[in-house]
Amino acid sequence: MTSFGFLSTYPPTQCGLATFSAALLRHLTGQDSGDRAGVVRVVDAVQPAVYPDVVAQLVNGSPTGPALAAAVLNRCDVAVVHHEYGIYGGRDGEDVLRVLDETSVPAIVVLHTVLAGPSAHQRQVLERLADAAAAVVVMSQTAADRLREGYLVDAAKISVIPHGALTGRRMSPPASVNPFAPVARVAAPRRPTVLTWGLLGPGKGIERAIEAFAGLGALDPAPRYVIAGRTHPKVLAREGEAYRDSLRARAEELGISADVEFDPEHRNPDALMDLVRGADVVLLPYDSTEQVTSGVLIEAVAAGRPIVATGFPHAVELLADGTGLIVPHQDIPAMTEALRAVLTQPALAESMTRACGRIAPGLAWSSVANSYRALAQSLLDAPVTAAA
């Protein structure tokens, strides 16, 4: 039985890292594993206790916070430190280093971002973080290659463990005909669904996705475009709903507002996967050329959905074997044609679904949790070397 101490953002914080941490913790401690886990939740101000998993808080800017966080992590067998530059205090999140300096148990550092062109200080923070870690986890081979080639990091410490996803649940396809209706009465054909989901904000490329979708007007039946997700909390605090409003306005200008649906509902993981499995094609129109980890991409593959994505690094890596179509960044006509191909060529869509099915088992959260378990055990079993 292993006890894990997480250092991370955590629900009810709305961000991909918090969602990831909650899912990993749930699968590490579930199914009678015997393992235990607690979270030191990273916050900007003291928050009320909501989840029993949260055993302490690291308040950014607190002079004593790092030492207190380390003291809590040291009560566990293994610390799991989740890293992105924007979540910790100090310049480029350097305050996390103060936590690692006082953590005496083996630390697994999970890098959610590995920049291709970091500033000198960003590089220094990541290298010091990796140096203090017993193991470094990245979620794609692209990220591992970037670490080895662009940073001074001990390659022996690096492990690639994919982002997890729910798998195994099945959803019945929507019926196109009501079996109890009179024989002569035929239901209208089901409209194909294009789906983009996740926290909304500039950089998601959805304005170009809407323009690309507008080029599908001649299809029969006409597809609909569902944009699911709330506005990112930091964007909401800074700009309100300006981005979402601009997207609505663009759909109105293009005359497709009736076909573009904004769905801000917050769904639990099972309900979200039902939404994804109901889509005919998942569209990831991201602007980023840096993104080496995408939970949305992993979840789409695990759901067996055909994918159209811009060429961000994780998409290029994961979709290389026919699980999706890659289009150049900001190339609206190419995006339109890729969507059209998936929606009008059943054989293509089916081949993508089969390709997803070949790699989905390795993306299951149960498999990912087992990989973290095995890594933690290898650290605990490693011989202790005496200091020189």
* 330 & 372 share domain: no
Residue 384 is predicted with a pLDDT of: 64
Q: Where are the beta strands (DSSP E) in the chain?
A: 3-8, 36-43, 54-59, 78-83, 107-111, 135-138, 158-160, 193-197, 224-228, 260-263, 281-284, 307-310, 324-327
Is residue 175 in some structural domain? no
Residue 348 is predicted with a pLDDT of: 96
What does the pLDDT look like over 18-45, one tens digit per residue? 999 999 999 999 867 789 999 999 999 9
What does the pLDDT look like over 149-182, one tens digit per residue? 999 999 999 999 999 988 754 433 333 333 333 4
* 67 & 144 share domain: yes
Is residue 29 in some structural domain? yes
Cis status, amide bond into 189, omega within 30 of 0: no
* 198 & 344 share domain: yes
* 202 & 109 share domain: no
Q: Which domain holds residue 70?
A: 3-164+364-381
Is residue 172 in some structural domain? no
Q: Evaluate if residue 189 carries a pLDDT over 80.
A: no
What does the pLDDT look like over 105-145, one tens digit per residue? 999 999 999 999 999 999 999 999 999 999 999 999 999 99
Residue 89 DSSP symbol:
S
User: Is 53 in contact with 36 (CB distance < 8 Å)?
Assistant: no
Is residue 188 in some structural domain? no
pLDDT band with cut points at 50, 70 and 90 for residue 385: low
Residue 173 is predicted with a pLDDT of: 37
* 78 & 206 share domain: no
* 356 & 376 share domain: no
Residue 175 is predicted with a pLDDT of: 36
* 72 & 207 share domain: no
Q: Evaluate if residue 307 carries a pLDDT over 70.
A: yes
Residue 186 is predicted with a pLDDT of: 44
% of the chain at pLDDT higher than 70: 93
* 372 & 353 share domain: no
Residue spans of alpha helices (H) in 57-167: 65-73, 95-101, 120-132, 141-150
What does the pLDDT look like over 260-277, one tens digit per residue? 999 998 888 888 889 999
pLDDT band with cut points at 50, 70 and 90 for residue 320: confident
User: Is 235 in contact with 201 (CB distance < 8 Å)?
Assistant: yes
Is residue 388 in some structural domain? no
Is residue 186 in some structural domain? no
pTM of the model: 0.85
pLDDT band with cut points at 50, 70 and 90 for residue 206: very high
Q: In the predicted model, what is the mean pLDDT of residues 314-330?
A: 93
* 125 & 210 share domain: no
Which one-letter amino acid corresponds to residue 149?
E
Per the prediction, the chain carries an average pLDDT of 90
SS3 386: coil
Residue with the bigger pLDDT between 66 and 16: it is: 66
* 335 & 372 share domain: no
* CA–CA dist 348, 306 (Å, integer): 9
* 241 & 369 share domain: no
Number of domains observed in the structure of the chain: 2
What CATH number did the domain enclosing 61 receive? 3.40.50.2000
What does the pLDDT look like over 38-68, one tens digit per residue? 999 999 999 988 889 999 999 999 999 999 9
Is residue 387 in some structural domain? no
* 101 & 246 share domain: no
Is residue 371 in some structural domain? yes
Residue spans of alpha helices (H) in 151-205: none
Residue 180 is predicted with a pLDDT of: 32
